[in-house]
Chain A
Amino acid sequence: MRLLHAIWADIRFQIKQGFYLVYVIITLMYLVILSFIPQDLLPVVLPVVVFTDPSVLGLFFIGGIILLEKVQGVLMVVVVSPLRTVEYILSKVVSLGILSLLAAFVISFFSSHEAINWLLLLLATILTSGIFTMSGIMINAGCETVNQYMLKTIPYMLLFVLPCFSLIGFPYSWLFTVVPSVAALRLMMGAYQAIPWYEAVSLVVYLAGTNYLFFRLTVRVFENKIVYKD
């Protein structure tokens, strides 16, 4: 119940800060652009759009959210409130995941591509969003300004994004699937293109495991480096 209240409070905060309004505008922009993409290219372009924007929005926003809460003293209140760190982080991950999911679904629904596996899209968006939001929380440790945060995200983004080019295909390129972002993009592609069920299941299991590991790590980093600062 406490967690549900925290998620609802985070969603209301995001609405107040204009996250949803901005994503309505961004979604419209994507729909205009996608309407000019040839039908046969949509199964490639759509997953790339959903993967590079709605799915990673958590990484972009979480830095500012935590920095603002730090300045406003919210984090100090969280420490003495009944809300546990685990619930605080879950609330952030879930609330930003809901926004990712809404944007991904609206973009996909209104695009002219019909053969979409909605269950895979749901899983791919949630799992990708979780990884990026939690990475954002960890990157945030030690940052005092948004510019510092943005700069610190660059190497991590490179680490996540560059291996994704392996999907173009070259000998042994499948080895890059071990990188969570590549696995996530592969699953996202699977939502718009045909993918064998065993591949989809193994990717979901792998990404769920990665999310769990990231979650444990995030809780530790958040408590040690952000709340108590060692």
Chain B
Amino acid sequence: MLQLIHFKNDARQIMRDPIMTMLLFAPLLLLIVFKLLVLLLPPFLNAKFGFDVAPYNPYILSFVLIVNSGMLGIVTGFMMLDERDGKIAELMEITPLGKSGYLVNRLSFTSILSFIYAFTGIYFLNLLELPLFSIALLSLLAAVYTAIMGLLLVTWADDKVKGLTLAKGLNVLVLFAFTDLFSLNWLTCLSWFFPPHWITAMIKSPWHLPGIAAALLVHLGWLSMLIIGYWRRAA
């Protein structure tokens, strides 16, 4: 109950801050931009260079999901970094909400948004025919990815500048969504340990059970490790 009240207050507080509201709704804008690109670019590329984009649709969808959920994660990470600098996090931790409540509160808000954006985004972009189960799973993975990105930032960065450096470096993770295209064994093997690879894999083979298990394992593994890291840092 306490969590719910805090969650409601948090949502209200974010809605009052125009900057945060706009940042949280920026993925919607991004979805519209991607939709326009998906509509306009393939005919242009086909006409001008004879290049067919259709075989790359799973990668495009994966890219959109990763960028959108990653962006929300980075917004969460910077919000928590700012709260740490402003000692607001310390204040929140001594309220009945506590340390874990604060963490759940901050991560869950954007993760839920990420789930909604991923779910609606897949339908809105309409790049591939995916089963409902697969759409739900991809949305769940996107939500976990948002939490992972937020935690990576707040656990590893000491200050705002390190946060920006890290956010820049984390862009490299997107590469792991495309490793199938490069046919480099070492890179493919390396990508197995990173969430973006499994988002693409789940789009390409929605019913592959070992793949589903591995995707969940990698995502939840990263999440658990980062939560432990966050606790160690806070201790």
A residues with a Cβ closer than 8 A to B are 17-19, 21-22, 25-26, 29, 32-33, 36, 57, 60-61, 63-65, 67-68, 71, 145-148, 150-151, 154
CA distance A151 to B182 in the complex (A): 34
Q: Are B172 and A26 in contact (CB under 8 A)?
A: yes
* Segment of B99-107, B156-164, B197-205 engaged in the interface with chain A: B156-164
Q: Are B22 and A151 in contact (CB under 8 A)?
A: yes
Contacts of B19 in A (CB 8 A): 145, 147-148, 151
Given contacts A61-B164, A63-B164, A146-B78, contact A151 B181 (CB under 8 A): no
B residues with a Cβ closer than 8 A to A are 19-20, 22-23, 26, 75, 78-79, 81-82, 85, 159-166, 168-169, 171-172, 175, 181-182, 184, 187
Closest beta carbon of chain B to A80's beta carbon, Å: 23
| Given A65-B161, A146-B164, 14 more pairs with CB closer than 8 A | A17-B161, A18-B162, A21-B169, A22-B165, A25-B169, A26-B171, A32-B175, A32-B184, A36-B181, A71-B160, A146-B160, A147-B19, A151-B19, A151-B22
Closest beta carbon of chain B to A98's beta carbon, Å: 16
Contacts of A57 in B (CB 8 A): 168
Partner of B168, one of A22, A71, A150: A22
Q: Are B85 and A64 in contact (CB under 8 A)?
A: no
Given contacts A29-B172, A32-B175, contact A150 B23 (CB under 8 A): yes
Task: Return the 10 tightest CB-CB contacts between A and B, nearest first.
Answer: A64-B164, A22-B169, A64-B161, A64-B160, A146-B78, A18-B165, A145-B82, A68-B161, A17-B161, A148-B19
Contacts of A63 in B (CB 8 A): 164
CA distance A18 to B158 in the complex (A): 12
Contacts of A65 in B (CB 8 A): 161
Query: Which of B20, B160, B182, B187 has the most CB atoms of chain A within a 10 A radius of its CB?
Result: B160
Query: Which of B20, B23, B169, B187 has the most CB atoms of chain A within a 10 A radius of its CB?
Result: B169
Partner of A26, one of B26, B85, B169: B169
Closest beta carbon of chain B to A30's beta carbon, Å: 10
Contacts of B78 in A (CB 8 A): 145-147, 150
Given contacts A22-B168, A146-B81, contact A64 B163 (CB under 8 A): yes
CA distance A17 to B164 in the complex (A): 10
Q: Are B22 and A60 in contact (CB under 8 A)?
A: no
Q: Are B23 and A151 in contact (CB under 8 A)?
A: yes
Given contacts A32-B175, A32-B182, contact A146 B82 (CB under 8 A): yes
Partner of B163, one of A21, A32, A71, A146: A146
Name the residue of chain B whose CB is nearest to the CB of A41.
B49
Contacts of A150 in B (CB 8 A): 23, 78
CA distance A22 to B160 in the complex (A): 15
Contacts of B175 in A (CB 8 A): 29, 32-33
